């Protein structure tokens, strides 16, 4: 322990565990960054020594790309497997394939070559449960049997899922995005991105989606991708030993997750940039893009949708939109904003109730009950019985000539000889009217059940249910406008663009706009939302309607409360998340926030050369601060540096074991030279190597808005407050968060400990 | 002047010009930000007072969107007008339309209804100069006459352009992107984005592009859009009075500029984010996207290309690419990287020569000479005679059945009965071989002439010439691979995917990949490059080849030097630009960089209560520092705060004029209470209001890499260095830049004064 006393000594890692963090603690971004630079410097200087070291340095430089490639491959594969499994298990609720029970309905009927696409429903190899069990395919008893089987399977899946989550990986529940945001902002939650979470979340995700609950797999896929990122980054010391670098990989993994969820690589990168990430340097942007692309192409080569399409909802519209349609689009935006507000308020209220009342003690029962209600209500209505993504797909679709869906049951003009993709507006048939009723009921049901579903102890995403709500509302508005335009094409608003025989309104586009609006209202995404939707449609043509709806929905929702669902859940759980988007506009100064406050005992400090080992050990035992400022003496209180608690403990332990003559009465000194001591005093202990000589300081007059900015941009853990060199107090990230909560009239005690 | 002494006093703006900056100075981002927060706070609190104030606050909140809308509209309109004018004037070099001289060749022949598209060249209303002047359309003398007219027009346009730039707006020259990057990073260059620059740059851009010089309009369009942004932000006090907020608008304007240049709004936003901007909060991202979309749609409604397309080069390929093709794509990437390196090195060497030798004194002559050489060499070769963007368009195109271009002169199989968009690979005809020769010559010419063109005293962009070089090389490689595959389809590498009669190689795709590679090599763009190209093709299908080429080209080019062309020009001109992308990896400490150095006279400081007005005035006169640290006394050197030179001067001037009893012997004090003075001393001057009580400090042991990070992320102007509260020195942005230059073995004196 004869440290030469400069800052770089830490990096020789004289004792283990230096540079790691405890669970539920915040990392120090600046320190992580400088540790990485040191590592890089060491490798660069070594690489000139021998060819082997040079190759090692090249491998190190490439490891970032390798990690991205691996993440892309694994995330894409997992997404593909999940899609296939969900497909099979969703169909299993209705029936089974005789030729091979692991085939889904569609695969089953493909392999039995005798049927064409139109005869899909009559494919003999696929048997409904009633056909298989009692050999009946029609009639009331068959219906009831199928109904019961549907409910039973749903309950079985849900029960399995919630049990697996409870027993093996409690962190696998929820969408994961609030926690990932918190982790990326520099918080440590051990095991949240672990291998067990990865495995259990993947399996239970399949189960819950198949069970027909009102949830999506998109959010959890981001969590799954981040688990992959965490796994691969643990294989490379560059990332496993540096929490800052690891977070760069996780940001990219989140992009890959959205990329496979929607088949939208650019949207995924922007989602990671806008919504999830905290520290996003440009190098990460480029690598995220790479990971997102690899993931998307891996998924495509697995081809789970059987159509070689990259995107989840492929749509192709044949008619442009017209200026007058902006009005219904903006209305849909308003609806989306209102839905977002309603959903966030109700869901947070319900989740708070779950946290505080007895309800939270029976998570399995809760899941079973919600699943039972969902299955019972959903089965009779064709729009809720099928999987939600199929529903959205159908709602987005334009009615072509070959479309057999109920939604496309228009009354055709018998004299029509137009090409198939340019069908004029037609009067609605009976099917459309029935569909409207069913859609309205499905909409109400979805709105209510989603509020209770999101937040249960199972993996659950929000994107798909939100989009479904919007798509249903949008499609209904679209059909309404279409029929209005058909029957009243002489009205002024229609006269200019909607002559009889023209194809002027595309209800599918309204569904899409509605979906964007609702998703925007709930998540408050902006650019990434529009870009994801743009990648789905593949044309700039429809970007203006989407943007109008997204902007409106965000404005409307923001008027009722600035928080999106993820921020709301972060606050509910009290994670120490310092949002980059929140603007701090109060006039407080650093002196108002720093501790000790007036009347509190003075700050626990170390002096540079007058405390004994025992004094320090007592101080460490009696307090639980993460570190202590070091001052010249208690009288002058001039700041010298900052010592981390963890490193102090390790250094003292080490010295007591290894260094001779160190006893409880030994004086500890942080200066270069030992202090002058009486002749018979024990050997002093030099601790300069654990002293950070460049702690971050602000003056007591610094406005808090600047302090918040510094904490955000530099990712600090704590900051010392001085006035003309004299130490006055300390501000930690937790103090900043508490102060912000206080200023926003929230409970400052809700912030989790860091 | 009876200040109450808190920080907020500045904002009452007791004397004019507080908060503005001098020309060629650096702004203080933190201060700008806190000034904006104060303004916002004031408006919010006022808005509760009356309805009128509430409406005003709403207008203020909306003004950001209004500015974006206006920028989008103007940038789109200007781009459309420039396109139309260039079209007409380029054709004017060859001939004139008899029905209306302001019609371009294409418009002229459209209006003369008698001709179909195929007969375009025979349209009677369009007359070549030889037809008009001597009534000959064929023969040697007609050719020579046309040749001469071509050169004459080119010289006239170029002369007009360079004269206009010299006389009216010297800042209108170049691409403008290096300067815009510098301005966005917080530097003040007055007039660079002024109205005159806007006007002259627009006019001269049309002239130089029409003159046939090897330059593009894309980079200058970004400058034009930023001028629009600056103009509109000067209309709203929110932006005109705050240099930080103004830069947010300029970032968005840059996005709008790229958006109209390529018809790629998302690519434009990412370009602004990746390449140009410095401080890019998420709110700006969303607004940039809005501005970029408005601009793109304005341009589309002007419809300068006459095809309702948004994009500059619309392409549609009919065949996928194959794994084996990655090899030539990567080769093109290598070519792009080498071209980038060659271009940057040669161009910088030539520009340095221009700056340091007599050459720079004759800019008009230089432009005339280069134009003359360009015109003389370009005319005989059909691939250099036409405008560069037409050339790129043709090179990108897939050869359809109706294509009449020489590049598509393949020998058709007479028995072919395939649909028009799925033509198998065919042997090349005579035309293709001729085209190959001409392309090779054009390629060499372009490479050489572009090096000399970029940097002349005229507006000149680099995107189009770079893309042309890449597209020519790519098309040649593509045709090579195609013929190889046709004639040797039994080779192992072709056997799997290229059977006879299949359409397996698309030379146009190679051209596109080559263009991306060369553009990437020169500018080192990554994500934005791929996204712009993606928006041109509109499909994810071809993103892997583009990405492979872009990655390779960046790696190859980076191996020879990290700087892209814009950074190289920034360094050449010595702009104080602190690049976010550069990583500082040296082990120096703040103490090595701060001034005063060893042996230098001590720091010029103010004491808190012992200097007279005269002392301070002498200090201000004798030094040219931007500000002075204020300490307790010369002995203790404990730091109190920082006073800006500009504000000190204004405050003293003001006090001398307005406040009675202030004479040269008056003691100045920065404390709350006046110091105790002898009985007969003159009235002291309180200057607490110009004292910044929260100057930014670091300790002398802080690693420079942290200091650089702080300067970058917080946008500081200067930072004080202390050791346990005692002031040791100061580090300005200029010191940081000089130190970085020194560490990179560059001349530290080349950094421009700030």
Residues in chain B within 8 Å Cβ distance of A282: 274, 580-581
Q: Could you tell me which residue, B555 or B119, shows the higher pLDDT?
A: B555
Residues in chain A within 8 Å Cβ distance of B540: 265, 296, 310, 535
| Whether the predicted pLDDT of B137 surpasses 80 | no
pLDDT digits (tens, 9 = 90+) for B448-492: 999 999 989 999 999 999 999 999 999 999 999 988 888 887 887
Nearest alpha carbon to residue A704 among A605, A578, A601, A598: A578
Residue of chain A with shortest Cα separation from B294: A544
Question: What crossing angle do the helices spanning A326-356 and A463-487 adopt, rounded to 10°?
Answer: 150
SS3 B280: coil
Q: How confident is the model at residue B1 (pLDDT cuts 50, 70, 90)?
A: very low
Contacts of B557 (CB under 8 A, 6+ apart): B336, B337, B338, B340, B341, B520, B521, B524
**B656 is written with which tokens?**
């001398």
CB within 8 Å: B41 and A587? yes
CB within 8 Å: A538 and B543? no
User: Strand B691-692 to strand B639-644: parallel, antiparallel, or no bridges (unpaired)?
Assistant: antiparallel
Which of B468-472, B497-501, B542-546, B622-626 is the most confident on average? B468-472
| Whether the predicted pLDDT of A508 surpasses 50 | yes
CA distance B286 to chain A (A): 6
* CA B591/CA B581 separation, integer angstroms: 24
Q: Could you tell me which residue, A142 or B661, shows the higher pLDDT?
A: A142
Nearest alpha carbon to residue B294 among B84, B533, B75: B75
Write down the pLDDT at residue A113.
54
CB within 8 Å: B724 and A722? no
Pinpoint the alpha helices (H) of B538-681: 543-560, 565-573, 590-593, 613-622, 645-658
The average pLDDT across B625-632 equals 89
Pinpoint the alpha helices (H) of A263-400: 265-271, 282-302, 326-356, 363-378, 382-385, 388-396
Question: A129 to each of A126, A137, B554, how far by Cα in Å?
Answer: 10, 9, 59
Residues in chain A within 8 Å Cβ distance of B285: 274, 526-527
Structural domains of chain A sorted by starting position, each given as residue range(s) with its CATH number in brackets? 323-360+388-400+428-573 (1.10.3080.10), 590-750 (3.10.580.20)
Write down the pLDDT at residue A8.
34
CA distance B378 to chain A (A): 37
* CA A370/CA A368 separation, integer angstroms: 6
User: Strand B126-128 to strand B95-97: parallel, antiparallel, or no bridges (unpaired)?
Assistant: antiparallel
CA distance B691 to chain A (A): 11
Write down the pLDDT at residue B12.
39
Residue of chain B with shortest Cα separation from A532: B266
Write down the pLDDT at residue B664.
84
| Whether the predicted pLDDT of A241 surpasses 60 | yes
* CA A731/CA A721 separation, integer angstroms: 7
Q: Residue A19 region, left (φ>0) first, then alpha (ψ -120 to 50), else beta?
A: left
Q: Could you tell me which residue, B287 or A118, shows the higher pLDDT?
A: B287
Nearest to B725 among A290, A526, A725 (CB): A725
Residue of chain B with shortest Cα separation from A287: B527
Chain centroid to Cα A367, Å, comes to 22
CB within 8 Å: B282 and A7? no
Cβ atoms B352, B572 nearer than 8 A = yes
CA distance B457 to chain A (A): 33
CB within 8 Å: A694 and B710? no
Intra-chain end-to-end CA distance of chain A, in Å: 31
* CA A262/CA A252 separation, integer angstroms: 16
CB within 8 Å: B639 and A725? yes
CB within 8 Å: B639 and A286? no
Q: Residue A364 region, left (φ>0) first, then alpha (ψ -120 to 50), else beta?
A: alpha
Write down the pLDDT at residue A272.
92
* CA B550/CA B531 separation, integer angstroms: 11
The average pLDDT across A41-58 equals 89
Number of H helices, E strands in chain B: 28, 12
What's the whole-number average pLDDT of chain A?
A: 85
Residues in chain B within 8 Å Cβ distance of A547: 289-290, 293
Residues in chain B within 8 Å Cβ distance of A33: 705, 709
b/e burial code for range B6-28 (CB count within 10 A of at least 16 → b): ebeebeeeeeeebbebeeebbbb
Nearest alpha carbon to residue A669 among A697, A641, A710: A641
* CA A714/CA A697 separation, integer angstroms: 13
* CA A628/CA B526 separation, integer angstroms: 44
CB within 8 Å: B583 and A41? no
* CA A649/CA A616 separation, integer angstroms: 9
Q: How confident is the model at residue B112 (pLDDT cuts 50, 70, 90)?
A: low
Indicate the DSSP class of residue B192.
T
Share of chain A above pLDDT 70, in %: 91
Nearest alpha carbon to residue B73 among B228, B239, B273: B228
**DSSP characters over B513-569:** HHHHHHHHHHH---HHHHHHHHHHH--GGGHHHHHHHHHHHHHHHHHH-S--HHHHH
Q: How confident is the model at residue A13 (pLDDT cuts 50, 70, 90)?
A: very low
Write down the pLDDT at residue B346.
96
* CA A366/CA B674 separation, integer angstroms: 71
CB within 8 Å: A296 and B540? yes
Which of A303-317, B531-545, B729-743 is the most confident on average? B729-743
Residues in chain A within 8 Å Cβ distance of B269: 527
Nearest to B37 among A293, A310, A585 (CB): A585
Residues in chain B within 8 Å Cβ distance of A265: 540, 543
* Residue B430 main-chain phi, psi, to 5 deg: -60, -40
CB within 8 Å: A694 and B701? yes
**A653 is written with which tokens?**
């332990």
Long-range contacts of A297-302 (CB under 8 A, 24+ apart): A297/A72, A297/A76, A297/B544, A298/A72, A298/A73, A298/A75, A298/A76, A298/A77, A298/A80, A298/A260, A299/A76, A299/A77, A299/A79, A299/A80, A299/A83, A299/A260, A299/A263, A300/A263, A302/A76, A302/A77, A302/A80, A302/A81, A302/A83, A302/A84
Cβ atoms A586, A647 nearer than 8 A = no
CB within 8 Å: B724 and A639? yes
Mutation for A interface: B266, B298, B551, B554, most A CBs within 10 A: B266
Residue of chain A with shortest Cα separation from B290: A547
Residue of chain B with shortest Cα separation from A716: B710
Nearest to A33 among B632, B640, B709 (CB): B709
CA distance A466 to chain B (A): 22
pLDDT digits (tens, 9 = 90+) for A532-589: 888 876 666 788 888 889 989 999 999 998 889 999 999 888 888 888 777 787 888 9
Write down the pLDDT at residue B681.
81
Residues in chain A within 8 Å Cβ distance of B716: none
Residues in chain A within 8 Å Cβ distance of B248: none
Nearest to B34 among A290, A638, A705 (CB): A705
SS3 B691: strand
Nearest to A289 among B527, B709, B710 (CB): B527
* CA A299/CA A574 separation, integer angstroms: 36
Write down the ipTM of this complex. 0.85
What's the 3-state SS for B492-507? Answer: HHHHCCCCCCCCCCCH
Residues in chain B within 8 Å Cβ distance of A697: 697, 699
Residues in chain B within 8 Å Cβ distance of A725: 638-639, 722, 724-726
SS3 A631: strand
Q: How confident is the model at residue A133 (pLDDT cuts 50, 70, 90)?
A: confident
Residue of chain A with shortest Cα separation from B630: A724
> What does chain B come to in residues?
754
What's the whole-number average pLDDT of chain B?
A: 85
Long-range contacts of A166-173 (CB under 8 A, 24+ apart): A166/A363, A166/A364, A166/A457, A168/A196, A168/A199, A168/A200, A169/A194, A169/A196, A169/A197, A169/A199, A169/A200, A169/A201, A170/A457, A171/A197, A172/A197, A172/A200, A172/A201, A172/A204, A172/A459, A173/A456, A173/A457, A173/A458, A173/A459, A173/A460
Place of tokens 């510098």: B182
pLDDT digits (tens, 9 = 90+) for B672-686: 888 888 888 888 888
Question: What crossing angle do the helices spanning A527-537 and B282-302 adopt, rounded to 10°?
Answer: 40
CA distance A328 to chain B (A): 20
CA distance A565 to chain B (A): 18
Mutation for A interface: B528, B540, B586, B723, most A CBs within 10 A: B540
CB within 8 Å: B293 and A547? yes
SS3 A559: helix
CB within 8 Å: A706 and B534? no
CA distance A281 to chain B (A): 8
SS3 A654: helix
CA distance B24 to chain A (A): 26
pLDDT digits (tens, 9 = 90+) for A704-714: 988 998 888 88
Cβ atoms A517, A552 nearer than 8 A = yes
Residue of chain A with shortest Cα separation from B37: A585
| Whether the predicted pLDDT of A479 surpasses 60 | yes
CB within 8 Å: B705 and A581? no
| A·B CB contacts under 8 A | 148
Instruction: Give the CA count within 13 Å in the CB-facing half-sphere of B246.
Output: 27
């Amino acid at each position: 322990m004869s440290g030469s006393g400069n800052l770089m000594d830490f990096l020789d890692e004289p004792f283990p565990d230096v540079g790691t963090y405890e669970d539920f603690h915040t990392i120090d971004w600046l320190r992580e960054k400088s540790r990485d630079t040191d590592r890089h410097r060491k490798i660069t200087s070594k690489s000139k020594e021998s060819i082997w070291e040079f190759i090692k340095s090249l491998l190190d430089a490439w490891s970032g790309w390798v990690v991205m490639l691996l993440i892309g491959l694994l995330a894409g594969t997992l997404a593909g497997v999940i899609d296939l499994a969900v497909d099979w298990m969703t169909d299993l609720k209705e029936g089974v394939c005789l030729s091979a029970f692991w085939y889904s309905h569609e695969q089953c009927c493909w392999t039995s070559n005798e049927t064409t696409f139109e005869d899909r429903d009559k494919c003999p190899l696929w048997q409904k449960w009633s056909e298989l069990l009692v050999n009946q395919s029609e009639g009331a008893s068959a219906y009831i049997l199928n109904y019961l089987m549907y409910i039973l399977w749903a309950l079985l899946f849900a029960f399995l899922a919630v049990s697996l989550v409870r027993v093996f990986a409690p962190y696998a529940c929820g969408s994961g995005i609030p926690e990932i945001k918190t982790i990326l902002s520099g918080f440590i939650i051990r095991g949240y991105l672990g291998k067990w979470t990865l495995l259990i979340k993947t399996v239970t995700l399949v189960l819950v989606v198949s069970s027909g609950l009102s949830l999506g797999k998109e959010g959890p896929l981001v969590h799954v991708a981040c688990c992959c990122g965490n796994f691969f980054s643990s294989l490379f010391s560059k990332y496993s030993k540096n929490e800052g670098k690891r977070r760069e990989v996780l940001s990219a993994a989140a992009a890959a997750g959205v990329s496979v969820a929607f088949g939208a690589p650019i949207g995924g990168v922007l989602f990671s940039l806008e919504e999830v990430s905290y520290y996003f340097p440009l190098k990460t942007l480029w690598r995220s893009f790479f990971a997102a692309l690899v993931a998307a192409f891996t998924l495509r080569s697995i081809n789970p949708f059987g159509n070689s399409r990259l995107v989840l909802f492929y749509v192709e519209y044949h008619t442009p939109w017209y200026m007058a349609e902006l009005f219904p689009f903006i209305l849909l935006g308003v609806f989306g904003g209102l839905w977002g507000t309603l959903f966030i308020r109700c869901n947070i209220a319900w989740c708070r109730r779950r946290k505080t009342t007895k309800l939270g003690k029976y998570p399995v029962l809760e899941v079973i009950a919600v699943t039972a209600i969902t299955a019972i209500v959903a089965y009779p209505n064709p729009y809720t019985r099928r999987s939600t993504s199929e529903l959205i797909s159908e709602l987005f679709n334009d009615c072509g000539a070959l479309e057999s869906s109920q939604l496309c049951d228009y009354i055709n003009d018998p004299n029509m000889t137009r090409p198939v993709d340019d069908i004029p507006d037609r009067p609605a048939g009976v099917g459309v009217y029935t569909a409207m009723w069913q859609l309205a009921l499905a909409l109400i049901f979805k709105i209510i059940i989603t509020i209770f579903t999101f937040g249960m102890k199972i993996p659950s995403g929000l994107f798909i249910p939100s989009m479904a709500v919007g798509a249903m509302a949008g499609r209904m508005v679209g059909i309404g406008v279409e029929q209005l335009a058909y029957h009243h094409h002489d009205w002024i608003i229609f006269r200019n663009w909607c002559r009889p025989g023209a194809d002027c309104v595309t209800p599918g586009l309204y569904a899409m706009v509605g979906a964007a609006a609702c998703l925007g209202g709930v998540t408050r995404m902006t650019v990434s939302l529009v870009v994801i939707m743009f990648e789905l449609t593949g044309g700039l043509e429809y970007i203006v309607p989407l943007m109008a709806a997204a902007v409106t929905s965000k404005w409307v929702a923001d008027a009722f409360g600035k928080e999106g669902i993820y921020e709301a859940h972060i606050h509910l759980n009290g994670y120490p998340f310092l949002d980059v988007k929140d603007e701090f506009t109060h006039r407080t100064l650093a002196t108002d926030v720093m501790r000790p406050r007036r009347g509190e005992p003075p700050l626990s400090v170390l002096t540079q050369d007058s405390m004994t080992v025992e004094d320090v050990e007592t101080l460490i035992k009696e307090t639980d601060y993460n570190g202590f400022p070091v001052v010249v003496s208690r009288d002058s209180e001039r700041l010298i540096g900052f010592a981390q608690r963890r490193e102090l403990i390790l250094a003292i332990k080490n010295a007591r074991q290894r260094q001779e003559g160190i006893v409880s009465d030994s004086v500890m000194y942080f200066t270069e030279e030992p202090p002058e001591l009486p002749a018979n005093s024990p050997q002093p202990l030099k601790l300069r190597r654990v002293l950070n000589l460049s702690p971050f300081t602000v003056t007591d007059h610094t406005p808090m808005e600047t302090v918040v900015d510094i904490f955000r941009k530099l990712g600090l853990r704590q900051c010392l407050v001085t006035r003309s060199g004299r130490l006055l107090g300390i501000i930690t990230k937790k103090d900043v968060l508490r102060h912000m909560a206080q200023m926003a009239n929230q409970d400052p005690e809700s912030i989790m400990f860091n």
